[in-house]
Chains A and B, each alone.
Chain A
Amino acid sequence: AQKVTQAQTEISVVEKEDVTLDCVYETRDTTYYLFWYKQPPSGELVFLIRRNSFDEQNEISGRYSWNFQKSTSSFNFTITASQVVDSAVYFCALSGYGNNRLAFGKGNQVVVIP
C-alpha cells in the first residue's frame, strides 16, 4: 500500500518569510511518482510538480523549490519569500508506475500574513 504523510497541519508565516512543507512517503514500488498540488480557497487543485523515483535532482522554479531524498523517503517543498497569494492547502501525492491513482497526504494549510 502507498502512504503519504504530511505532519504539519497549519503553518502561518509572515509575508516574505520562507516556508518548507514536509512530505514523507511509503511505497513498495521500485518505480513511482511524486507530486505536489496546490488548493487555493476557490477549491480546485492545481498541479505544481511531478518527480519520478529515478530523478533525485532537486529543482527550483521561481519561488518554489523541491528537495527529493530517496534515502529518507522525503519530498519536501519550499516557498521562498512567501506572498499572500501563496495562502492555500498544499498536497503531496504518490502513485506507482503506470498507475495514476494518486495517494494524497492530508495537506498543509499555509497562511501567509501580510
Chain B
Amino acid sequence: SQTIHQWPATLVQPVGSPLSLECTVEGTSNPNLYWYRQAAGRGLQLLFYSVGIGQISSEVPQNLSASRPQDRQFILSSKKLLLSDSGFYLCAWSGRQGANSPLHFGNGTRLTVT
C-alpha cells in the first residue's frame, strides 16, 4: 500500500532562518506531488505541485521554493523565513490513473516562525 511520510511534525524557527521540510512517498511510482499550507482559520492553499522529477509549478509567489530531486521526494525550502510563513504545511500525492485522482495527505508539519 502507498504511504506518505512528512517531517518534522513540528518546527519552531526564528525569523530569517532557513527552512527545509521533506516529504517522501512509498508504494507508488511517478506520483503527482503537492505542497499545501493551512493558515489559522483558513482553508488550504496550494503552494507547489510537481508532475515529475525537476518539474515544479508555483501557484503563489512567495519566499518559499520547492524541489523534487527524486521521483518520490518533495522538499519545501526557504532561505529566510518570515513571520507570515507560520502555518500548517501538508504534503500530498495523487496517482495518474484516471482523471482527478484523490489527493492523499501526509500528517503535516506545524511551523511557527518567531
Contact = CB atoms under 8 A, between A and B. Distances in A.
A6 to B, nearest CB: 8
| 3 closest cross-chain pairs (CB), A and B | A45-B105, A104-B43, A33-B100
Contacts of B42: 106
A106 B102 contact: no
Interface residues of A, number: 25
Interface of A: 4, 33, 35, 37, 42-47, 50, 52, 91, 95, 97-107
A112 to B, nearest CB: 21
Nearest to A106: B43
Nearest to A45: B105
Interface of B: 32, 34, 41-46, 49, 59, 88, 90, 92, 94, 99-108, 110
Contact of B49 (A35, A47, A100): A100
Nearest to B6: A44
A99 B103 CA distance: 11
Contacts of B92: 45
A42 to B, nearest CB: 7
Contacts of B106: 44
Contacts of A107: 43
Given A47-B102, A100-B49, A100-B94, A91 B44 contact: yes
Contact of B46 (A43, A98, A102): A102
B88 A43 contact: yes
Given A43-B107, A44-B108, A100-B49, A50 B44 contact: no
A43 B94 CA distance: 19
